[in-house]
Structure 1
């Protein structure tokens, strides 16, 4: 018996749209959204895509650039995670060329979340998880106020870019005229109604650590992720750490131990290893350098680690230190 032909949206969902020009990519997202639940423009630079699957809802804030660079098929990361695990998904997407759109601070989005609250949208779900990273992490925290009792996971979020509170963050000069003092403004206050919030950040990135310190809520867990760099989400996605954290949050069992388990693969991740090498060599700690380089070189060839190992062993010999047996040259 012949199978009925797939709809355009079904074809898109099984293909890679990451290389499509921005306008065509947005058309594909619209087709998928309308087929799965609904799609709605939110002004010139934003849209929302909803997939209605189950009484568990993942809410993500993403951008055209982050999606097409980090998703294997060009679909929102949250959509892929939700589809895999049978969750419903609400994705607010910044797709315009204006860099200020990445913080999702426009009246159309305020009004959209106001409408969701008025309609009792979030009350239809047993569990709601908000997720985002960087500017999207800011938005995930800020708009979580619309769903009291939700869980929030934010990776390296900004707390605010209000010059009165964060004048020390010089990274985003294009936001200087933006208003972070009005509705959905100060992210740490907006997560007051959340059941639990987890803020992950690299303490070596000073602005990220300073933003994290502004999240002082009692129900907020600050989780330093050392040597993950200025873009921890990228590293966490590469090592498969984001998905188990989302699963735990959706199951109501997100703890520091869960995060620790999810991050175990960092020991084998090249980016993390490079930054750790930079740290231990800067500390002039030849034994740690030797152990790290030996661990890395057991699995792959890497000239920076070979060079660092030679220098560390020379330093140890000069200091009369014993070189670990498994690190001795053949």
Structure 2
């Protein structure tokens, strides 16, 4: 081991931002000696700051062709970084995104001291902690680390956690953004977690799915600042190539998620003086101060254009009220699912009625009701008695207490002129609430569900559980359930370590094990990823000829999001409520997944995690061929 081992830091930068100087300054302060930045080979003249830093010898630029799907470049550049690291020795390599910061809490405060404290480990896997907006709206060009004040809760389990790895140089031939891959160049390499404790073998995400001791935070973590403020996030999204920008619904859902990250965290406040000193030293180098001002001016101009084109999106949202500490603290968050869309137009300003309420209001033309319970609400809109769709909220809906909140799948159900009963949640309780359960039982006993020709129940994750668990209230119903849990009763599923708040609810209440509530339904379509073990183990508890398990490979716990991006979610739902969905039809439609980069990335990760890198390379080649054929 060299007396002063180097840190070979690399990243991919698609668009320069004014916080890049802080990113470089901070990582130099913790020991980064060689900084390599991958940039687009066609971006000459568009990166004044990076060019100035390269001219000053602060960074080395590595021009590369950029994948049209720019979201793939993190993975591509990690592979390129591994090639560079494999040629080095005498230190460690680390690959980070430009919004990620390695936080070291071990004594000494440098990467070199950290690895020494970990008894010269070969690999350290630090968990990624995502930080939110912290109530900040406006963008201020320049440093952003002072905004790292509130984050999402620590991940409960490996499938919900991303990692970044410090790796001994020259030891591994390849890496993903998360960890090194391929055969090690020495026997028995030592891997430790972010607490410096030994990682369980074998070293792969797949093997760690249910393992203990993988996530550690005592010595090192990664701070991810995707949205230092609302405006900063919107600027970053707007800077992407147009075809890669998320749609308005996705942006709204992500901003809602960032706002819900309220776990206090000191971030890197203790490093502020050191960072300021390092920034000042860089600004003193020839050409860097002028280049930094060029980038800041560019951001200010882009922000003005954005404010003119998106005035409502950029208007600060009113503060939301929460009713208990349980609801105020984010937990078990998950992505929006694709049918729980934002309203048709900009949220109503002033006294305008939400669309669903306008339908059943005195001035509307639909019968229905709105029932507010202590922790839930029920919305019923009667349109056509031929079909009733019952929807249940998922976790991403819970924190939305706004006046404009819509029932899950509202637009889809309305556009099909189906009657709609929505069960809306305001806590993460998996509908384990005596008042709600009694209310649903009363509806069933009074013949409510029998008033409709056909009943459908649907939801995702927590809502997918409810669609199955309450199915017995409507004999003959059809269930469409995405990524469901069957129960969170720890005596029945002791291996389930996700959803801490849900596991703490009362699972002695009725309708607590969906595996026993589906005998009298017509059929259930359950969509899940068989590669994602926690979901697969739940689904394997469901039995019966009326249960159709639809394998949605490589979607993880986000099958509806994946299907939406593949333009498959609404067609599948449409076939379901039209009573034309079959497993054969589903798999025929699902072939379209092959054109989605998400699928390619997930399949490659699955193969690499199982020690099949040659198959991963063949898969990548096949996907490129498919994409080329599609473009011709």
Same fold (TM > 0.5)? yes
1:47 equivalenced with 2:368 (yes/no): no
8 Å Cα contact 2:377-2:424 kept in structure 1: yes
| Secondary structure of the structure 2 residue equivalent to 1:181 | coil
* Aligned counterpart, 1:113: 440
Computing the radius of gyration over CA atoms, which structure comes out larger, 1 or 2?
Answer: 2
CA 1:174–1:67: 2 relative to 1, 3 Å: closer
Q: C-alpha deviations, 1:174-214, integer Å up to 9, x for none?
A: 22331223311110111111110111111121110000000
- Pairs aligned (count): 280
Contact 2:467 2:481 survives alignment (8 Å)? yes
> Taking structure 1 as reference, are residues 45 and 239 closer, same or farther at Cα in structure 2, changes over 3 Å only?
farther
Q: Residues of 2 paired with 1:26 and 1:160: CA distance?
A: 37
1:245 matched to 2:565: no
User: TM-score of the superposition, structure 1-length normalised?
Assistant: 0.75
Which residue number corresponds to residue 92 of structure 1? 423
Cα pair 1:39 1:49 within 8 Å, conserved: yes
> Which has the higher mean CA deviation after the structures are superposed, 195-204 or 56-65?
56-65
State which of 9, 16, 26 in structure 1 corresponds to 2:346. Answer: 16
Cα shift at 1:247? 2.4
Alpha-carbon distance in structure 2 between the residues aligned to 1:88 and 1:182:
28
Q: Return the match for 1:206 from 527, 533, 545.
A: 533
1:131 matched to 2:458? The reply is yes
Contact 1:82 1:89 (8 Å CA) reproduced: yes
The structure richer in helix per residue is 1
> Structure 1 regions of 5+ residues with no counterpart?
1-11, 301-325
Asked whether the equivalents of residues 67 and 76 of structure 1 are also in contact (C-alpha less than 8 Å), the reply is: no
Cα deviation code 1:144-193 (max 9, x no counterpart): 11100000111110000111111101011122331223311110111111
Matched, 1:56 2:387: yes
Q: Residue 116 of structure 1 aligns to a residue in which SS?
A: helix
Residue correspondence of structure 1 range 73-88 to structure 2 within 5 A: 75-88=406-419
1:228 is aligned to 2:555: yes
Contact 1:280 1:288 (C-alpha < 8 Å) held by counterparts: no
**Which sits farther off after the overlay, 139-148 or 239-248?**
239-248
**For residues 1-330 of structure 1, what are the structure 2 equivalents within 5 Å?**
15-17=345-347, 30-34=357-361, 35=364, 36-54=366-384, 55-63=386-394, 65-66=396-397, 75-94=406-425, 96=426, 98-100=427-429, 103-282=430-609, 283-284=612-613, 285=615, 286-296=617-627
SS at match of 1:165: coil
TM-score (norm 2): 0.41
Query: What SS class does the counterpart of residue 470 from structure 2 fall into?
Result: helix
Moved more, 33-42 or 51-60: 33-42
Structure 1 residues 167 and 246 mapped into 2: Cα distance closer, same or farther (>3 Å)? same
